[in-house]
């Protein structure tokens, strides 16, 4: 006789099992996507490190390796340690090198384990480049009543390919972490979604923290693809709308928007953010915007 859950109808049991399988498959897909992204970033970093097919740029290589290291790629963690240990593209720093070697060594990277014995003790505080996206330092310093919301952002943001630190900076600027916030223009919730944006990204309950965060993250993901990862344009568009950014060929000359962009950039300092080009076609005005910025 097959095993049964007492009191649970067969249809509900089948549904639960089905959704369990779907959830497992979704997590596997997400992990696979993160792995592929980390490998792509590592390969690009190596190209810049060695000048293979592109102009050699070790600072760019370090940035890309760090993005991959944040996704858990042991090879990138080892490469960062090697560059710090040898002063390649950055001042030599054995303690920081040891931090990255230790990250890789914990994943079983044999070369990192050997190098760790040669460079001494690691720094206690994680290197700054690891803070540019993960936002854990913000959470650690936050008031207790905000931490639950911040932990939710840390969990959800990677699902949308958005750095948690950027999402947290937007939430702070939009609502100061007040789930019940409402603006004079009827923007609602943590990420201040206007009704049109909420509908566009399938947010039924804008004052539900998780739904609101997911809607805001979906919009940020779309803007990142639309403006090809240009953080200043993405942030300006989140505040003033992508149409205004296109119309003015860059950050609109609105005092509110310019202050908003400056405020977010104080927390999120990267100029470029990875994006998924499959999410949206790029803005048709990007070339015009780029030409204005170089004038």
Of 253, 261, 255, give the one whose Cα is nearest residue 231. Answer: 261
For residues 82 and 50, give the distance between their C-alpha atoms in angstroms, rounded to a whole number: 14
Question: Annotated catalytic, 174?
Answer: yes
- Asked if residues 201 and 229 have their Cβ atoms less than 8 Å apart, the reply is no
Catalytic annotation, pick one of 49, 67, 102, 174: 174
Of 3, 21, 17, 76, give the one whose Cα is nearest residue 44. Answer: 76
For residues 8 and 12, give the distance between their C-alpha atoms in angstroms, rounded to a whole number: 7
C-alpha distance from residue 92 to each of 43, 68, 88 (Å): 23, 21, 8
| Residues in a beta bridge with 292 | none
- Output the DSSP codes for 25-90: HHHHHHHHHHHHHHHHHHHHHHHHHHTSSS---HHHHHHHHHHHHHTT-HHHHHHHHHHHHHTSSS
For residues 134 and 281, give the distance between their C-alpha atoms in angstroms, rounded to a whole number: 27
For residues 135 and 76, give the distance between their C-alpha atoms in angstroms, rounded to a whole number: 20
Residues with a catalytic annotation lie at: 174
């Amino acid at each position: 006789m097959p095993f049964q859950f007492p009191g649970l109808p067969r249809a509900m049991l089948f549904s639960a099992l089905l959704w369990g399988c779907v959830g497992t498959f979704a997590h596997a897909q997400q992990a696979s996507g993160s792995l592929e992204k980390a490998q792509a970033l590592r390969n690009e970093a190596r190209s810049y490190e060695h000048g293979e097919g592109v102009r050699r740029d070790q600072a760019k290589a370090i940035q890309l390796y760090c993005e991959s290291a944040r996704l858990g790629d042991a090879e990138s963690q080892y490469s960062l340690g090697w560059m710090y240990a040898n002063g390649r593209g950055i001042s030599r720093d054995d303690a920081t090198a040891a931090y990255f070697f230790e990250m890789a060594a914990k994943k079983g990277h044999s070369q990192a384990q050997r190098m760790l014995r040669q460079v001494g003790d690691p720094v206690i505080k994680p290197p700054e480049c690891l803070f540019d996206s993960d936002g854990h330092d913000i959470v650690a310093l936050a008031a207790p009543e905000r931490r639950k919301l911040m932990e939710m952002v840390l969990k959800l943001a990677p699902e949308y390919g958005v750095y948690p630190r950027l999402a947290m900076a937007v939430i702070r600027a939009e609502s100061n972490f007040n789930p019940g916030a409402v603006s004079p223009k009827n923007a609602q919730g943590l990420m201040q979604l206007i009704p049109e944006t909420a509908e566009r990204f399938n947010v039924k309950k804008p004052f539900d923290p998780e739904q609101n965060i997911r809607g805001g993250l979906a919009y940020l993901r779309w803007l990142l693809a639309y403006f090809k990862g240009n953080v200043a344009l993405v942030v300006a568009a989140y505040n003033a709308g992508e149409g205004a950014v296109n119309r003015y060929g860059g950050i609109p000359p609105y005092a509110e928007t310019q202050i908003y962009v400056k405020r977010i950039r104080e927390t999120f300092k990267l100029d470029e953010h990875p994006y998924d080009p499959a999410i949206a076609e790029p803005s048709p005005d990007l070339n015009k915007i780029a030409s204005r910025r170089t004038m």
